[in-house]
Amino acid sequence: MKEDVIEKYPFLRRGLIQYFGEGISLRAFLEENEYYLQKSADLLYKIMNGEEAAFPTSGEERVKNYIITKIILTYIRDYFISARYAIRERKALYDTLEKESDVRNLKSVSHELNVEIDRQDDRYLISIPSFLKNAVVFNDRELKLCNQELQEGYVVASKHVLSKIIREAFYRKYMQEVMEVVEFPSDVDRILGPIVSEVIAKGREIRQERANLGPLNEKSFPPCLAEIIDQMKKGANVSHAGRFFLVTFLHRIGLPNDEILKYFGEVPDFAEKITKYQIEHITGTGRGREYSVPSCQTLGSLGLCYKERDPLCSSGKISHPLSFYRTRNLGNRSVSKPGPVNRVDKSSDP
């Protein structure tokens, strides 16, 4: 396999065999690539820390970084840490696919990710099962089946839509593989343990930060979220963007999925099974990735900002709804108490 193809798509099996080899033990591979092991751990830490971190550009370093990072994530087996890294890989793959001009490469990548495709003139035929399995991006109109041209069991798609389907297929497959239970031998554990300790510590730090948002208190919700909840209680048909914001916010402050689901009980088009599926997808507890809470700027562009209703918002000091919640909830929480966030019993409110 050509090196430039491996560099662009380091997950291709033939490329992995070329660099990992066959018949070599995991311990021997890690010992031979100690340099890349440390580089991979450093990259993971930067991503966990929210820093800009570019993937290596040379073919060998890119593939070995990919292999070793996947080994590390399988060793850690932490959904949150793995998702943060996989999202970066997902974006890099999508950017590469958008520039890809070789149909053979597109077919190789699709085959590797179990996406059944064929070429028809300047468009692509994606089998309907492959399309539906990977067209789960929340609120992406381009990936809704009702907006597609169908032909004898296939979706007739542009290369742009194909790139999105492949991107999601990669993410699903990657997360499934790194979360599999694998028993590492003690000699490998002695190599990986000290190297990844900082990455694991950073993951714990982020979780602690989430826990420090304190017990759920609806009185501390920003006016944008309060308006959405009020409209839902009245039975209004809240926009997809509003529902998406509600789910990401409640998930971020620690509310379990079954409690988030209760907020949707009075919306006119409520369907428990569908809503539960969408919540699992947005929160990353299903087969999707964990989505971030939209910023105030994003909410404003969607017509969901009501900053004039609260002096803290209108002061210009708040740029994110979580910052509002943290500030307002400061006097109502005990940061020393670990454990899941509990929902406030509304009946006990004065």
Domain layout of the chain by residue ranges: 1-77+181-206, 212-348
Neighbour tally for 253: CB within 10 Å? 22
Q: Identify whether the C-beta of residue 348 lies closer than 8 Å to the C-beta of residue 218.
A: no
b/e burial code for range 17-40 (CB count within 10 A of at least 16 → b): ebbbeeeeebbebbeebeebbebb
Over 50: is that where the pLDDT of 273 sits? yes
CA distance 230 to 290: 25
Over 90: is that where the pLDDT of 272 sits? no
142 against 12, higher pLDDT: 12
Question: Average pLDDT, stretch 183-200?
Answer: 89
Strands 117-120, 154-157: parallel, antiparallel or unpaired by DSSP? unpaired
b/e burial code for range 265-280 (CB count within 10 A of at least 16 → b): eebeeeeeeebbebbb
Over 90: is that where the pLDDT of 137 sits? no
CA distance 230 to 44: 41
198, 128, 133: which is closest to 156 by C-alpha? 128
Question: Average pLDDT, stretch 55-64?
Answer: 85
Neighbour tally for 203: CB within 10 Å? 19
pLDDT score for 116: 94
Q: Identify whether the C-beta of residue 27 lies closer than 8 Å to the C-beta of residue 191.
A: yes
First to last CA, the chain: 69
CA distance 16 to 19: 5
Angle among Cα 48, 52, 58 to the nearest 5 degrees reads 105
8-state DSSP, 56: P
pLDDT score for 229: 92
Over 90: is that where the pLDDT of 144 sits? no
Least confident span in 62-76, 261-275, 313-327: 261-275
pLDDT digit string (tens) for 321-340?
A: 998 998 887 754 433 333 44
Q: What is the pTM of this model?
A: 0.66
pLDDT digit string (tens) for 227-262?
A: 999 988 887 878 889 999 999 999 888 788 888 888
| Partners of 126 in the β-ladder | 117, 155
286 against 204, higher pLDDT: 204
pLDDT digit string (tens) for 24-38?
A: 889 999 999 999 999
Neighbour tally for 287: CB within 10 Å? 16
Over 90: is that where the pLDDT of 75 sits? yes
| CA-based torsion, 141, 144, 146, 148: positive or negative | positive
Q: How confident is the model at residue 286 (pLDDT cuts 50, 70, 90)?
A: low
Q: How confident is the model at residue 179 (pLDDT cuts 50, 70, 90)?
A: confident
8-state DSSP, 39: H
Q: How confident is the model at residue 143 (pLDDT cuts 50, 70, 90)?
A: confident
